[in-house]
Structure 1
Amino acid sequence: MVKLKRILLVEDNANDAELTLEALAEHNLANGVDVVRDGAEALDYLYQRGKYEEYEPGNLAVILLDLKLPKVDGLEVLSAIKADEKLKFIPVVVLTSSREERDVVESYRLGVNAYVVKPVNFSEFITAVKEIGAFWAIVNEPPPMSSRGLNK
């Protein structure tokens, strides 16, 4: 039996997190979604620290990452992910309200896989999240685990 990869949502805004979860559910994705509320918690999750010690590494389909986060901002989280040999192959989609050119440029410089500005319109937001979830969780073909250095 194939174990479905999870989606990690890094979002401090409770309303945006709820809307994102509803949009993913509307698409009937069977992938589980884990939600963390700040950048420090995201890093704890990814590095299996604290309450995330039981997390299975290499089991993420995609990380949906907000940039404007408390404690550790999204660009710092992205930088840590893409600098780590065991994490860098996990697709990261920045899902943010920021249209600032420096945020877009820095995100791509750090290795983001996609940059999506959250639509303000409710139905457009739902559609965007459904499409992101479907692409990364179903359509995208990630590199094999053996090429990620995780089976050594």
Structure 2
Amino acid sequence: MKLYKVETVQQLNTSIEECWDFFSRPQNLQTITPDNMSFEIRDFDNKRMYQGQIITYTLKPLLGIKVSWVTEITACVENQYFIDVQRFGPYTLWHHKHFFESTANGGTKMTDIVHYALPLGILGRLMNRLVVKNKLKTIFDYRHKKVEELFNSK
């Protein structure tokens, strides 16, 4: 199994508490996901993120094909980090760490680290090279832009 990694870092001009307030609410994931992916949360317990929380949703990542995805929050420390892991979905492995660190100027450094693997061996590696890697870049670029609008345009 070939493992891939995506890492992004973003500086936000807001407190760690305000960042945590936004990112610890699963429903806000829709706000930072491109509209053309038709992201829709199907089920979660309307609580802020906590270890053991299950979130189910659908999206259309490629070619308009609807995919179901189940995520579990496997670790969560308020104002510091949370980790979401795909339990069911399109990846063989999806492990996404979200870190929040206060900065000297009263802002927040937000770091995302995703490790992922695709099914189908060499075909999966080819799909990553041709499609998946670029799609993930587009998604994270969109997210970066939306987060800039939300936190850095004030």
TM-score (norm 1): 0.29
Q: Which has the higher helix share?
A: 1
Q: Which has the higher strand share?
A: 2
Q: Which has the larger radius of gyration?
A: 2
TM-score (norm 2): 0.28
